[in-house]
Structures are given as structure tokens and as C-alpha cells.
Amino acid sequence: MHSESVDYFPLSIYRQGTKILTITQLDKLSDTILDYLMEETGAQGSILWLSDTEQPDQFVLNAARGLVQLENETPRFKSSGDDPRIEGFPLNSPKPQILNNNLYLTLRSEGGFLGCAKLTRLPDGKKFGLIELKAVEAIGEFSGLAIKNAQRLEELARKGFKDDTTGSYNLAYLSDYIEKEILKTRRYNRTFSLVGLQIDNYQKLQQKIGQAPVAQAVERVILALNELLRDSDTIARISEREIYAFLPETDYFGSLMSIRRMDDVLKPRKYISNFHKDSEDLEELLIMMASSSFPRDGTDFDSLKVKIGNRMEAQRSSIYKKLDLEEKSFWEAVDLLMSKKGHKAAEDVDGLSRHYVFTSSLIDQTQKVIFLEVAQNPDMRGVLYLGVQKIDPEMSFLENHQFIEASATRIFILGHPTGDKEEEDRNWEIPQITPVFLSDERMKDHIFILYLNEDYAYGLICRRSKQGKLLGFHTGDSTLVEKLVSKLQDNYMLKKQL
């Protein structure tokens, strides 16, 4: 402690410092530090950012007290070395500073930059001065040491729950970690997602080829996930056949995109050599994946797991599984859905999917209803693919396109150009809708709608018969719609946006 600080301050500050040093739970410590800073300075609001233990150059909003407007504060920022100068953070030295009537403080220990605090809103027009600067500097020295100790203890606790081979945690750690994150997420109006992976044929493979090769294959899956996911994400293996990934700051739609990336990465790693047979004969891990998000799908760990389980069951009963479309291309899947086999599969799913003879006016009306849905929910993230025979900006469902200009839904129209493709692409004047001009002859005989958002999915596929009738299939099967979107993107090398 600086000698001038010892001479300058009353004993109360050092009592507060002693109290701070006794707290080892990081969230409680963060709140206590802000309480003492506000008490000594008279500030009416305070915010604390701390370094992410998995990404030391990333600083995350960890606590806030008093009168603050969190929507105006940076939830996460990145520093360069020991320099926390970013937008809203003018600090470029370890000393506290005053700027625009706010007081800023960096928290350090052993020369390392651990975080920073911001104090705001003195009452009655008062301003921060030398006394407040000295007070927060003294409290900051105690706080830096306490935060460093608390982070070390958390790291030791994590290692005790961590598998050395895969880097995955166990159920006890994941459950405790999520419950803590729920408190923080609820306080700061954030979201997170939980992705579940379940190996449906684990026991069957174990009996067939032995425990060791199956266990090794699962380890390869976890290691692949560790390489793919962010440092801030957490992977836990809670049983032989169940793995979970915790994704902070990720909404449900974001979790679907994460599942898409996981699926791509895991495809070549699902296979196991069957050493009891020819070495070319491979067994496959049947991996089921689903996600849930807080607070959308549940407000505790158990309810989030239940939602994941329900979504997995929905996938198992999906037409996608019934028709075994996994290895089919987009157009092969369309052919199967429109076939007698597709009719039978739809009949087996009560009310979710049906085949009809459509009229052009009914399809036009459906397109308009989808656009109205997008316009009425501008903040809802989603993706909409419309397959039309010919792309024309005068199509009736585009009449009120201006109402979706601010929509969070990505919209693509696929079809043949009415004239020169390059010229039409240059002249397209609806910026919120992306035209995809195709020369594929199959587009002339098909019309489709694939709409996926955070709450539900809808798919419609129509094919014109030789007699001119529009034979159609429509569905609310979210698994089928999501996979068709993926296959469509792969078929035409479209940018992978969910």
C-alpha cells in the first residue's frame, strides 16, 4: 500500500480492504467492491468489468450497482496488453482518472490487468475530486489482490472437475456453473444457450465392438468440439453417452447455427473401425443434437435439459428421420417428399405435415402471410428462402417490401431471371431481399417456401405436374425445414445463414 494513502485515509477504508480480502466467491466479491467504492465516493452508480479466465484479453461486464443504464454500457471489450483504452474507457495508466464526470479505475495485481470499474452520477451536481481519486485507488489495491486470489481458487476448482484427456467438465461442475450464470444473466438481462449431444447407439456399439474403441471415438468428438467452440464456451460430459456445451451470450437462433457448425465438424469423426471385421467396415456414432436457451426455454438447468430432450424426441419422430434424408441432396429430398413414400410418412405424423393440390392464388396468399409475419416481428431472427419460377421485382408478395426493411430475418429469392442475369442483379432495388439467379431447370417446375425463425418453422414445396396441377407438400416439422435449408445452401453454395 502506498505510504501517502496510509497517511491520507481514515481507518474505515482499510477495514473495508480487510473485508474485501476475506471474500473468495467472485460474484460476491464484485458486488462488495462496488458497494465500497460507491460508499467512499458518493457515486450513485457503478459497473465492474473483469477479465475472462479463458480469454485473458477479453473483459466481461461482471457486476453493476445503483443507478446505471446497462443498455448504454459495453458488455464485453478487448484490451491490448495492459492498455484498456477502448470506446468509453479512457484509461491508459494504472492510476484512476476522471472524465466526463465519471471516475474510472483499473484493477491490477502482480502487474497484470484484471479489470476496470466505472463510477457515475454524483448527486446534486457534485463532481469527483482528489479525495475520491485517492479513495478508489486505495480500495482498488485491495480489490486487485482479492480478485486475483478468487480467480485462482475458481481455477483450482475447475481443474478438480475437469477431465485431463478431453478438457471436458463433469455434471456437478456444469450444474453449479449454470446456476451461477443464471443469476448473472437474469440480473443483466442477457441470454445463453445449452446444446445437448446424445449418442443414441452408444450401448449397441459397445456390445458390438467393445468399450475401448467407442470411448475413444467419443473422446475424439469432445476434442473436436473443444477446437471448434469459443474459449468462453464450456463443454461437459455428464454420462457415457451425453455431452453438453454451454454457450454464453448466445440466443436460440445462434445456438442453431452452432449446432450446424458442430454437425459439419463431427461428420468425419463419427466413424469407428470395426476391428472384428474388414478394416474398411466402419461403424457410426449416431449423434443427436438439440439446444435450449435461457430464459426462452427454461429458467433453471433441469428445465433447459428437459426442453433439449423434448426437441430430440421431435427429431427422432421427424419425417426427416422417417425418410432417411441424411445423405440425400436437396432435390433428392424433394423427390422423396413428393413420392408415395413421402405421402405415407406425412400421414404417420398427426397434423404436422400434409400433401395437397395447391392453386397459384393460395401459394401467393401464403407468401404474403409469411411476409406479413416477418413485418410484424422485426426483431425476430430468422431466415426465409423463397423458390420462384422467375424472379421479378413486380411479384405481388413484394408489393409492401418496405415494411420489412428493418427486419432481423434474412430473405432470399431463388429462381430464373426474366432477362439478362447480370443486368437484373445490378438493377435489383430491394436491398433487404437478396435475389439468387439460377439456371437450374428444376426451378421452373417447383415453388417452395422455407421459413425458420426462433419460434417455429414452416415449409412448402410444390411441383407442377404434366397436367399443370401444383402438387404440394407443406409442413411445420422444424427438423425437416432446418435440414432442407441446410441442403439448399449446400446445393447452390449459398452462404450458410440460418
- Let me know how many helices (H) and strands (E) the chain has, helices first: 15, 19
Grid coordinates of 484: 432442407
Q: Are residue 35 and residue 72 in the same domain, yes or no?
A: yes
- Pairing between β-strand 192-199 and β-strand 234-237 as defined by DSSP bridges: unpaired
Both 212 and 132 in one domain: the answer is no
CATH code, 231 = 3.30.70.270
Q: Is the pLDDT assigned to residue 297 strictly greater than 70? A: yes
Which of 204, 262, 201 shows the shortest CA–CA distance to 235? 262
pLDDT tens-digit readout, 140-160: 989 999 999 888 887 777 777
CATH number, domain with residue 52: 3.30.450.40
Given a cut of 80, whether residue 430 has pLDDT beyond it is: yes
Whether residue 238 lies inside any domain: the answer is: yes
**What is the span of the domain harbouring residue 227?**
171-316
Q: What three-state secondary structure class fits 494?
A: coil
289 and 382 in a single domain? The answer is: no
* Residues 145, 8 within the same domain: yes
With 60 as the cut, is the pLDDT of residue 6 above it? no
| 439 and 380 fall within a common domain | yes
Give how far Cα 33 sits from Cα of 121, 144, 153, 272, Å: 17, 10, 18, 53
What tens digit of pLDDT does each residue of 369-428 get?
Answer: 999 999 999 988 999 999 998 998 888 888 888 888 889 999 999 999 887 766 766 778
- CA separation for the pair 466, 341 (Å, rounded): 20
Report the percent of the chain where pLDDT is more than 70.
91
Q: Is residue 358 situated within a structural domain? A: yes
DSSP letters spanning 258-297: HHHHHHHHHGGGSEEE-TTS-TT-EEE--EEEEEEEETTT
How many domains is the chain partitioned into structurally?
Answer: 3
The number of beta carbons lying within 10 Å of the beta carbon of residue 364 is: 14
Regarding whether 347 and 285 lie in a shared domain, the answer is no
- 278 and 243 share a domain? yes
Q: Point out the domain boundary residue: 160, 188, 203.
A: 160
* Tens-place pLDDT, residues 337-371: 999 998 888 876 666 788 889 998 999 999 999 99
Structure-model confidence comparison of residues 87 and 222, the more confident one:
222
Q: What is the pLDDT of residues 198-239, one digit of tens each?
A: 999 998 998 888 888 898 899 999 999 999 998 889 999 998
Q: What is the pLDDT of residue 349?
A: 64
Asked if 418 and 464 sit in the same domain, the reply is yes
C-alpha 285/C-alpha 455 separation (Å) is 29
Per DSSP, 243 falls in state E
| Of 57-71, 74-88, 191-205, 424-438, the least confident | 74-88
Residue pair 366/460 in contact by the 8 Å Cβ criterion: yes
